[in-house]
Structure 1
Amino acid sequence: MDHRGTNLPAVGEYNQTVVLDAIRRRPEGSTRSEIAALTALSVMTVTKVCRRLLDAGLIEEDGMRTGGPGKPAAVVKLNPSGGFAVGVHIDPAAVSYVLVDLSGAIRDHSRTGTPTAGDASAVIEEMAAAIDALIEGSAVDRSRVLGIGIASPGPVTVDDGVILNPPMMPNWHQVALRSSLSEATGLPVLLEKDTTATVIAELWYASPGTRRDFAFMYYGTGLGTGLSLSGDVVRGVSGNAGDAGHITVDPEGEVCTCGRRGCVGYVTVPRVVVERAVRDGLLSTDDLSDVDTALRRLAGLAQSGRPAAVAILSDVARALARAIVVIVNLLDIDEVVFGGPFWASISPVVLPALPDAVGQDPALVSPHPVRILESAIPVDVAAVGAATLMLDNTFSPRPSALLLTAE
């Protein structure tokens, strides 16, 4: 998205985010006049904003640049150590934690089992301890930690920061996580649905203009979908947009937990795929204790040409492709990005099959090509997305900021 500032005096905070975002997107550094040209701000306004950002330690000067007649101009760059954010991803199988710096680089990460205590206070205490350990172990200045972003399975109430009743997590009912965790850690906390967090991460890390209209297919313990239209995250009225798990892809398929047959979010999820492999004699019941390893073994069998394994993962690819076609037809998007903790296990077999399965589907209406890609974000994309949620709140210019008072 092309973010530009305004020279009106009542929008200092908005202009600050405009300038900071422009600096972030040019890691090679920029002069103040170059930033002015990029943002449509006056050099005077940019100079004033840069002075404030330098004083705050968010940017730093890095040499001089000569760009024609006149004196050499100072180059400013983002100071990666000027701030940090913690990202937390809550999954039915585990909780992942990451610490990222202002540039988005991952400084450290950890993983724990998902708290099972019915008492919310015990859950908060356990998570706060893990966050404290991550910050202390990373040896960063805690005063530079901007806050904590949380990615949680939906449904959630984003404004209140409450996790409602996520599937496969029966003890997480009406947990006021945002306020409680903020009180326990002394840090600001933001909460988003996990699939929304993955889209925020993709937009944050993508080169300008390379990701605008896409769906993120999150392959974790369950299957989720995040959406971006015109470079903006689609959240919906309650912040729970993108739940595509109950798209019917096989009317004769297995019965979903919702009571219908052949829902994509049921027939493609890791545990159901592994259970089918066990029934077909490809894996043993012992493999159910480690679904990720079992999926990798199944993919290995498919790659070696084992017909039954090929059949299972071909069905997964076909089911995902049918869901993709529905989403592409509905939104007229041109990219689908795959990621999530279990995606790497089946990707070598499933990803190559998807483009043809989508392109040859007779239900596909869209006349343009649909690119199917993998997320390049390391570690847990939802945890990274949760951290960038906090960075995004710091960096990204929003028109609502124009309602702020004058500088």
Structure 2
Amino acid sequence: MASSPIWASRPKTRGLVLDLIRAARSISRVELAAATGLTGATISAVVRELMGDGLVVEAGRGGPTGGKPRTMVQLNPLARYSVGVQLERNTCVIVVVDLAGRQVARTSFQGVASMPPERALPLVASQVDALLATAAVDRERVLGVGLVSYGPQDRRAGVLLTPQPTDAWLDYPVARLLAETLGLPVLLDNDAAAAAIGEYWMGAVDPRSTYGCIYMATGIGGGVVVAGEVYRGSSSNSVEIGHISMDINGDECSCGNVGCLENYAGPSAIVRQAMATPGLAQRLALDSTAADLLTEFARIAAAANAGDTGARGLVEQSARHLGGAAVTMACLFDVDTIVLAGPSFAVAGSIYQTLIQQEVDRRLFARRAHPVRIVPSVNGSDAAAIGGAILVLQSELTLRHPRTDDGARPVPAGTAEIH
């Protein structure tokens, strides 16, 4: 039975309708009612509210249906913006996206790893301010900032639970202090989870599907999305495939586990193995003292693409380890797609995609029930930063704190505004 118009005031209903409009790009009220099971009166009330907030606009008439042409509605991409900040061990990437998730500005810089947080966060804030100014984005239309980084982390408290890149970052209130500096709400989240949800928002996956993401930057992480919702687990530290044990007799990892995947297949492991391979480090001009592991890893990946047998062997070995992790992810969550995201897949992504697909096709428990596709991220190297901004956009869908017509917030900036 269709729902009562009283549901028009519920954030969940409003979010559902707005998300359907976003995904459809252009849709009629009749089609929205059919898709949601809500009454026409409820849909009209919700759409009217969304239009009043400037989030949705009418977009002409639809095609002939045998009756009166239907008025179409669509998202107003310029109504709101959000910022995504990817805080890596060496590099920081900042993006600004509109309400449709389209990137409108980007910047990146290095050196954060060498700074204590009380110096790094003001630098990040100044870069965000500069990027918004350069892009000429009205600050009153900025919903907030998605700060994404590695785990473990306390997402609700907005703190990292790891002494990386230095001990000073452990338990430091990164989200609260960045929010205070910027005067904008800040949401802290996992980089792999952010990269995963970005695929959903950009329409790269079936919105009803269950899919996974393997994210590789300096380290390796994972995320799973079920029908448009990130699987969180009990503390939002789920799907950490970089720290599943590949060898119960392996070396101890800094996380406390032994034989972790990251120590066999991650960029730091590949660089370390290349340094120990006779002649390879010299041939590729690798720097054993370099602080930026991603640059050194990119040299190895580029050489692998160019046919260097030593480099290719190391990358293929990494890919087969990741193939085993993909099989584990697929067995645990019964996903139908696994997305490869992050800067470390940018150079040698084709090698990884091919070999991970082979491992999944050969080893998956449910392979006779359905295939699992291994695909590259539509958001490339910036998947985590874009995903961080999109997680903030999703908070607009829940609309726990709606804005007024002039864009003002009724709630002071801080981490509690975004859910």
- The TM-score with structure 1 as length reference comes to 0.87
Give 1:24's aligned residue. Answer: 22
1:219-238 alignment, distance < 5 Å: 219-238=216-235
How has the CA–CA distance of structure 1 residues 66 and 223 changed in structure 2, closer, same or farther, with 3 Å as cutoff? Answer: closer
Residue 192, structure 1, aligned to residue 189, structure 2: yes
Residue 164, structure 1, aligned to residue 161, structure 2: yes
Q: Which moved more, 1:322-331 or 1:136-145?
A: 322-331
How has the CA–CA distance of structure 1 residues 270 and 321 changed in structure 2, closer, same or farther, with 3 Å as cutoff? Answer: same
Q: Which moved more, 1:135-144 or 1:305-314?
A: 305-314
Q: CA deviation at 1:182?
A: 1.8
Q: CA deviation at 1:348?
A: 2.8
Give 1:336's aligned residue. Answer: 338
Q: CA deviation at 1:97?
A: 0.7
SS at 1:345 equivalent: coil
Q: CA deviation at 1:80?
A: 0.7
Q: Which moved more, 1:234-243 or 1:14-23?
A: 14-23
How has the CA–CA distance of structure 1 residues 54 and 200 changed in structure 2, closer, same or farther, with 3 Å as cutoff? Answer: same
Residue 128, structure 1, aligned to residue 125, structure 2: yes
Does the 8 Å CA contact 1:282/1:298 hold for their aligned counterparts?
no
How has the CA–CA distance of structure 1 residues 155 and 73 changed in structure 2, closer, same or farther, with 3 Å as cutoff? Answer: same
Q: CA deviation at 1:232?
A: 2.9
Structure 2: distance between partners of 1:226 and 1:323? 12
Structure 2: distance between partners of 1:210 and 1:73? 25
Give 2:139's aligned residue. Answer: 142
Equivalent position amino acid for 2:24 in 1: R
Equivalent position amino acid for 2:153 in 1: V
Structure 1: distance between partners of 2:304 and 2:204? 35
Does the 8 Å CA contact 1:18/1:397 hold for their aligned counterparts?
no
Residue 307, structure 1, aligned to residue 306, structure 2: no
Structure 2: distance between partners of 1:371 and 1:382? 21
Alignment partner of 2:12 out of 3, 11, 14: 14
Equivalent position amino acid for 2:232 in 1: R
Q: CA deviation at 1:69?
A: 5.0
Structure 1: distance between partners of 2:155 and 2:191? 11
Residue 50, structure 1, aligned to residue 47, structure 2: yes
Equivalent position amino acid for 2:365 in 1: V
How has the CA–CA distance of structure 1 residues 260 and 385 changed in structure 2, closer, same or farther, with 3 Å as cutoff? Answer: closer
Does the 8 Å CA contact 1:197/1:389 hold for their aligned counterparts?
yes
Residue 182, structure 1, aligned to residue 184, structure 2: no
Structure 1: distance between partners of 2:321 and 2:57? 50
How has the CA–CA distance of structure 1 residues 39 and 148 changed in structure 2, closer, same or farther, with 3 Å as cutoff? Answer: same
Cα deviation code 1:134-159 (max 9, x no counterpart): 11110011111111111121111111
Give 1:272's aligned residue. Answer: 269
Give 2:355's aligned residue. Answer: 353
SS at 1:159 equivalent: coil
Equivalent position amino acid for 2:219 in 1: G
Structure 1: distance between partners of 2:144 and 2:62? 35
Give 2:210's aligned residue. Answer: 213
How has the CA–CA distance of structure 1 residues 69 and 247 changed in structure 2, closer, same or farther, with 3 Å as cutoff? Answer: closer
Task: Figure out how many residues of one structure are paired with residues of the other and give that number.
Answer: 392
Does the 8 Å CA contact 1:299/1:349 hold for their aligned counterparts?
no
SS at 1:393 equivalent: helix
Give 1:374's aligned residue. Answer: 376
Q: Which moved more, 1:224-233 or 1:138-147?
A: 224-233
How has the CA–CA distance of structure 1 residues 61 and 233 changed in structure 2, closer, same or farther, with 3 Å as cutoff? Answer: same
Q: CA deviation at 1:298?
A: 2.5
Q: CA deviation at 1:44?
A: 2.3
Identity %: 33
Structure 2: distance between partners of 1:240 and 1:61? 41
Alignment partner of 1:92 out of 84, 89, 94: 89
Give 1:39's aligned residue. Answer: 36
Structure 1: distance between partners of 2:233 and 2:391? 17
Give 1:115's aligned residue. Answer: 112
Q: CA deviation at 1:268?
A: 1.3
Structure 1: distance between partners of 2:375 and 2:333? 18
Structure 2: distance between partners of 1:397 and 1:372? 34
Give 1:283's aligned residue. Answer: 281
Structure 2: distance between partners of 1:269 and 1:95? 19
Does the 8 Å CA contact 1:270/1:291 hold for their aligned counterparts?
yes
Does the 8 Å CA contact 1:118/1:172 hold for their aligned counterparts?
no
Give 1:316's aligned residue. Answer: 318
Provide the aligned C-alpha RMSD in A.
Answer: 2.7
Cα deviation code 1:306-332 (max 9, x no counterpart): 332232122112211222222222333
Q: CA deviation at 1:162?
A: 1.7
Structure 2: distance between partners of 1:323 and 1:271? 17
Does the 8 Å CA contact 1:212/1:232 hold for their aligned counterparts?
no
Q: Structure 1: which 5+ residue stretches go unaligned?
A: 399-407
Equivalent position amino acid for 1:391 in 2: L
